[in-house]
């Protein structure tokens, strides 16, 4: 019996999971790695540490499943998306720390492109807004700030990649430099309609084309792991950005189906089929995946800070010792006591797109306790998701029937119930919460014939629990009105050009 190994390279940790034919996890391993904050608003990671942690947990997960690499039919990869790496093609060594998707250092560069009237062009070609979130301006910053990097890039000595490219490069011993279409669509450099890198956008960003990886489909055999890495070579056969992988793992393969992932950030995607639906509400139009000759698209809303806000309660404020403590602490009070926390620690994503918003807490009184702050933190996550759904329903032209949820915080019953109360639609949680890794496994399994087709994969989705709205609609509206007032106080706080921006 064979199994599929999924590599789930996330923002704060690298994980690996072994899945069987029923989509059940047979073995899992996880390892956190360091985050660096060299200046306010800057976020970096060590590319070598990302790779070492990922290959380490891969072997550990297989061992925990009681297997060897000879039992693995294929490897699927899913990853934090816009995080940007630049490395030497000869040595394979990064020239600089990876610049993480949360990093805001290129906000001013985005502003300059907007002032030059370039945003409509980027929006039309890429489906994205001009924001520091995406890879293009991060790569330009690396070329401009690493001595000699631009000259070396133009000479063909360097390689750019998002994390999927970096992992494949290392897994294949540098033989393959590629990215899948879902990750390419997050760079500000890729035309999602023609399915290729865009020369005009590259020129505007100042990016030499020879830096870029080959763009491939999301479910095909790309090659094998390099000899000596594992006991036997293993096919690498599926790649998708983390949110697209979760959409696939949630079996949202028909237009109109939607999911929300509660991870470090929060990401809602609605499948729109073969149509790239333009957004009127500052959502993103993105590639969901490409399988064979068919490209599927999605509307996406991104919240930059979700689970990371709970980490802040633990590491920054010290009011909890572990993330698991936040639910009982928040549940110890009946409500937030009028406190609202806007977790705009890295600006605001969709549908607001305010690069200069910052975290804000309002409504504090002498009666405010740690429990109220914990509850306001969870509610702040749910309010942001409600803003996304409202925009998405308007773009799609129809209300959602349900929202499928996954990610670490989806296991928080208090948060899920409050989410259903705000959205006014059922929130459904599957038995397997790890749908990001499952999606990567399914894409890889399809490519090697482990699963017959998408219909077979959809049968693996099993319901754990449905959260139905219980809060009166009038009260939900009152809470959302209070959130809107708090949101306005968070917007535009940082001053453009100052270090905090």
Which residue ranges are tagged as binding site for glycerol?
Answer: 81-82, 133, 242-243
Q: Which region holds residue 125: left if phi is over 0, alpha if psi is between -120 and 50, else beta?
A: alpha
C-alpha 144/C-alpha 359 separation (Å) is 30
Binding site as annotated, residues for ADP: 11, 15, 264, 307, 408, 412
Judge whether 198 and 189 are in contact, CB under 8 Å: yes
Q: How far is CA 225 from CA 68, 167, 170, 213, 234, in A?
A: 15, 11, 9, 18, 5
CB atoms within 10 A of CB 75: 28
Binding site as annotated, residues for ATP: 11-13, 264, 307, 311, 408
What lies within 8 Å, CB to CB, of 48 at 6+ separation is: 93, 94
3-state SS, residue 151: helix
C-alpha 185/C-alpha 183 separation (Å) is 5
Q: How far is CA 430 from CA 225, 261, 294, 355, 404, in A?
A: 32, 12, 27, 34, 8
Binding site as annotated, residues: 11-13, 15, 81-82, 133, 242-243, 264, 307, 311, 408, 412
Binding site as annotated, residues for sn-glycerol 3-phosphate: 11, 81-82, 133, 242
**How many residues are there in the chain?**
501
What distance separates the 2 farthest-apart alpha carbons in the chain?
64
Q: Where are the alpha helices (DSSP H) in 146-290?
A: 149-154, 163-171, 181-184, 199-205, 242-249
End-to-end CA distance of the chain: 53
């Amino acid at each position: 019996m064979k199994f599929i190994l999924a590599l789930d390279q996330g923002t704060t940790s690298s994980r690996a999971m072994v899945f069987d034919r029923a989509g059940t996890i047979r073995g899992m391993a996880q390892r956190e790695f360091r985050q660096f904050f060299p200046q306010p608003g800057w976020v970096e990671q060590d590319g070598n540490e990302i790779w070492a942690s990922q290959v380490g947990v891969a072997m550990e997960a297989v061992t925990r499943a009681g297997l060897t690499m000879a039992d693995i039919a294929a490897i699927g990869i899913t990853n934090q998306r816009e995080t940007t790496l630049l490395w030497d093609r000869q040595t394979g060594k990064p020239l600089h720390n990876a610049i993480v998707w949360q990093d805001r250092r290129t906000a001013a560069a985005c502003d300059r492109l907007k002032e030059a009237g370039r945003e409509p062009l980027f929006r039309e070609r890429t489906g994205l807004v001009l924001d520091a979130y995406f890879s293009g301006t991060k790569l330009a910053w690396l070329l401009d700030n690493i001595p000699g990097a631009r000259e070396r890039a133009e000479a063909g000595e360097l390689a750019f990649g998002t994390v999927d490219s970096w992992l494949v490069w290392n897994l294949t011993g540098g033989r393959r430099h590629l990215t899948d279409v879902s990750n390419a669509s997050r760079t500000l450099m890729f035309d999602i309609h023609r399915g290729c890198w865009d020369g005009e956008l590259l020129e505007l960003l100042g990016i030499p084309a020879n830096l870029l990886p080959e763009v491939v489909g999301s479910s095909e055999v790309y090659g094998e792991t390099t000899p000596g890495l594992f006991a036997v070579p293993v096919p690498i056969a599926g790649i998708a950005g983390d949110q697209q992988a979760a959409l696939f793992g949630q079996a949202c393969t028909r237009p109109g189906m939607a999911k929300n992932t509660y991870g470090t950030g929060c990401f809602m995607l609605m499948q729109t089929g073969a149509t790239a639906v333009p957004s009127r509400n500052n959502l993103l139009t993105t590639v969901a995946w490409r399988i064979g000759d068919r490209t599927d698209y999605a509307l996406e809303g991104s919240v930059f800070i979700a689970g990371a806000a709970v980490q802040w309660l633990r590491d920054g404020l010290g009011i909890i010792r572990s993330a698991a403590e936040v639910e009982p602490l928040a549940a110890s009070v009946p409500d937030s006591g009028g406190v609202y926390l806007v977790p705009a620690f890295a600006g605001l994503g969709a549908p607001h797109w305010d690069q200069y918003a910052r975290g804000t807490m309002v409504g504090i009184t002498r009666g405010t306790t740690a429990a109220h702050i914990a509850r306001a933190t969870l509610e702040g996550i749910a309010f942001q998701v409600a803003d996304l759904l409202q925009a998405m329903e308007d773009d799609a032209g129809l209300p959602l029937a349900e929202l499928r949820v996954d990610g670490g915080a989806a296991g928080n019953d208090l948060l899920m119930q409050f989410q259903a109360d705000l959205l006014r639609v059922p929130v459904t949680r599957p038995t397997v919460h790890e749908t990001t890794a499952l999606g990567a496994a399914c894409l890889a399994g399809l490519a090697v014939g482990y699963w017959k087709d998408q219909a077979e994969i959809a049968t693996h989705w099993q319901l754990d629990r449905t959260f139905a709205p219980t809060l009166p609609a009038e009260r939900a509206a009152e809470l959302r009105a209070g959130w809107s007032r708090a949101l306005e106080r968070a917007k535009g706080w940082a001053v453009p050009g100052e270090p905090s921006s």
